[in-house]
Chain A
Amino acid sequence: MTEARASRSERAGNDSAEGPASDDRHPLFIPLVLVGGLLFGFGLGFSHMARPEVVLDFLQFEDLGLLFVMFGGSALVGVTYFLAPRLFDRAPLTGDAFERRLKSFDRNVLIGGAIFGVGWGLSGICPGAAYASLGVGNVTILWAIAGMFAGAYLQGYWRR
Chain B
Amino acid sequence: MVIDPVALQAAADLFPNGISRYAVGGLLVGLGVTVIYLGTGISAGASTFLESTLSYVSGQSRFQRYVSSRDWRLVFTAGIVLGAAAFAVTFQSGVVSSPLYRPGTTGHLYEVGGVTLWTTGVQPWRLLVGGLFVGVGTRIGKGCTSGHGICGVGSASKTSIVGVLTFLVVAVVTAQLVAALGVSP
Question: Per-residue CB proximity of A113-149 to B under 8 Å, as 1/0?
Answer: 1111111111111111111111111111101111111
B residues with a Cβ closer than 8 A to A are 14-19, 21-47, 49-51, 53-54, 58, 60-63, 65-66, 68-69, 71-72, 75-88, 91-92, 101, 104, 106-107, 110, 112, 115-122, 124-160, 162-164, 166-179, 185
Q: Do A91 and B38 touch (CB < 8 A)?
A: yes
Count residues of A near B (Cβ-Cβ below 8 Å).
128
Q: How many angstroms from the CA of A28 to the CA of B35 in the assembled complex?
A: 12
Option from B28, B107, B154 in Cβ contact (under 8 Å) with A53: B107
Q: Do A34 and B138 touch (CB < 8 A)?
A: no
- Looking across the interface, which residue of chain A has its beta carbon closest to that of B86? A42
A90 CB, nearest partner CB in chain B, Å: 7
Option from B22, B33, B63, B135 in Cβ contact (under 8 Å) with A47: B22
Return chain B residues, CB-CB under 8 Å to A66. Answer: 22
Return chain A residues, CB-CB under 8 Å to B133. Answer: 115-116, 118-120, 122-123, 147, 151
Q: Do B157 and A91 touch (CB < 8 A)?
A: no
Q: How many angstroms from the CA of A3 to the CA of B124 in the assembled complex?
A: 40
Given A34-B75, A103-B142, A122-B129, do A138 and B27 touch, yes or no (CB 8 Å)?
Answer: no
The 28 sampled A-B contact pairs (Cβ below 8 Å) are A36-B33, A37-B76, A40-B76, A40-B83, A46-B101, A56-B175, A59-B175, A63-B15, A80-B154, A81-B154, A91-B38, A94-B39, A98-B37, A100-B43, A100-B156, A108-B140, A110-B162, A113-B163, A115-B141, A122-B130, A123-B131, A143-B124, A147-B131, A147-B134, A152-B50, A153-B58, A155-B136, A159-B140
Interface hub of B49, B104, B146 (most chain A Cβ within 10 A)? B146
- Looking across the interface, which residue of chain B has its beta carbon closest to that of A65? B22
Given A18-B66, A128-B145, do A153 and B54 touch, yes or no (CB 8 Å)?
Answer: yes
A residues with a Cβ closer than 8 A to B are 3, 13, 15-22, 28-30, 32-54, 56-57, 59-78, 80-81, 84, 88, 90-94, 96-105, 108-141, 143-157, 159-160
Return chain A residues, CB-CB under 8 Å to B33. Answer: 36, 40, 73, 77, 80
The secondary-structure label for the interface of chain A is helix
